[in-house]
Amino acid sequence: MGSKYTTETISGWDATPPSDDGTVSEANKVKYSTVKGKLSTPLKTAIENIDSKLTTHFNVGPTALITNTTLDSTHFNKVIQVSGSGVTLTLSDAATLTAGWFCDIISTDASNSVTLARTTGGNTINETAANITILSLQELRVIVNAAANGFLVSNKARHSKAFKTAEDYTHSGTLTMSGKSIIDASGTSAGHASTLNIWSSGNYFTPTGGPFTFTDFADAPQAGAEVELYCDSSHVFTDNANLEVDGDANWAAEAGDRVLLRAKSTTVFTVHPRKKTGNPIADQKIGYKKVASGTASAAATLDIDITPYYSYGTNFEVVLDSLISSSDDQDLYLRVSTDSGVSYNAGATDYKWVSSGARTVTGALVTVNNADAKIILNPSSGANMRQGSAGSGNVTLTVFHPNNAALKPHFKWDYEYQSAGEEFVGANGGGTRYAAQDTDHIRFLFASGNISCNWALYALT
């Protein structure tokens, strides 16, 4: 095995020489045994020791390892070839090996990785107290880093056409590509609404499970990191302090949509949706901020909570499209709530309203009510919505100052639909909940039957 070279000294050289004063005596006779023992033998011994040390120092291998092995002082300056499944090479204590110890490790295995571990838990590898992975066909050099009480590992390219490493790689200079592209990895992980680590396995990521309403993600490794998230389900991305969604509103994805996520900081992320259809994302009106949307499907009522969006504006607009009634010839009602939707104002004198419009055959219509248990958005009876998709209608309703408890909430609307009598009806109107109150929910319902529609809530900014 390799070892550091140490200085060799000659032992016994010219030990107890004769006085050599010219006296003819037995002690002064020149004899082979005397010369050999005191001159040539010590030289021979020293030269052989030097040769042995140089052979050991420069005979660096390779040494083939196929089982778990501890790398110690005998592996100094050695070339280690390692192969096999589940093999761990463990570095001895850095302080015991001392500064200057090093060895080269080459994986000769085409498919299996190797773990490079540490005997002493406090020892570091590249200034981090953790083990690392040596990839198949990868070469590296390990050097004792005395200053950090650990080791420095220089990763080299795999013995193939591609550079590959399992460790983090920070590039501080300019990366210039010539005729080639950077190919991103992809990965999947079980989804979570607030702690999903989208940074763990490549730049193209698919959360599994759900659908989820995302409110946050795990911290990014650094500001500027980005990942494209593929939606395999109808996830919702919540616009908040952690997720800055394009359009400043919650965004509901369809299966197949994608979202580009960028780390504004390690804890704040910008969210940039991309539709699989290629259609534009923005559906905002100038001066309006879309804050919520959804669908009612054969529901007894459509209830919309406006309290989460008070900070966006004083007034709001609700749009209902593809409005369908399950029963024929039904009035469309509006009611409001002040107790988070637990109950809705329905007293006999709670509302005042007026609705006017015209039918394509019979002409103008006007209906008024100075004391009612609801607001009716369509004009007089006989011009109500036809049942099913044949009577499909659309509503735009403006809600004024609902969050001002000192004022009565006011409403104005436009409503168009096909009537039960086969006429097209265009209507508009205005009304009020005739009491000053803080209105937090609004409810749509037909006089009888169920309601179906798509809906969207806008804050007037």
Asked if 73 and 101 count as a contact pair (C-beta separation under 8 A), the reply is: yes
Residue that finishes a domain, picked among 107, 133, 155: 155
Same domain for 324 and 407, yes or no, is yes
270 and 350 part of one domain:
no
Domain that holds residue 331: 288-460
| The two three-digit tokens of residue 315, written as one number | 């007034």
Domain C-terminal end among 26, 41, 59: 59
**Cα gap 28→19, rounded to integer Å:** 8
pTM over 0.75: no
Residue 359 sits in the same domain as residue 441: yes
Is residue 221 a part of any domain in this protein? yes
Domain check: are 300 and 229 in the same one? Answer: no
Residues 67 and 53 in one domain: no
Angle at 380 between CA 388 and CA 411, to 5 degrees: 85
**Same domain for 228 and 101?**
no
81 & 116 share domain: yes
Structurally, how many domains does the chain consist of?
4
What are the pLDDT tens digits along the chain (461 aa)?
455 656 777 776 666 666 666 677 776 666 666 665 566 677 778 788 877 777 766 665 688 999 999 999 888 888 899 999 999 999 999 999 998 899 999 999 989 999 999 999 999 998 889 999 988 888 889 999 877 789 999 866 555 545 556 556 676 677 777 777 777 777 788 888 889 898 877 777 788 888 899 999 999 989 999 999 888 888 889 999 999 998 787 888 888 889 999 999 999 999 999 888 776 665 545 567 788 899 999 999 999 999 988 877 889 999 999 999 999 888 999 999 999 999 999 999 999 999 998 888 777 888 999 999 999 998 876 567 777 777 789 999 999 999 999 999 999 999 998 887 778 889 999 999 999 999 999 999 999 999 999 999 998 86
Domain closes at, from 246, 274, 302? 274
Residues 256 and 298 sit within 8 Å (Cβ to Cβ): no
User: Which tokens sit at 133?
Assistant: 């992975």
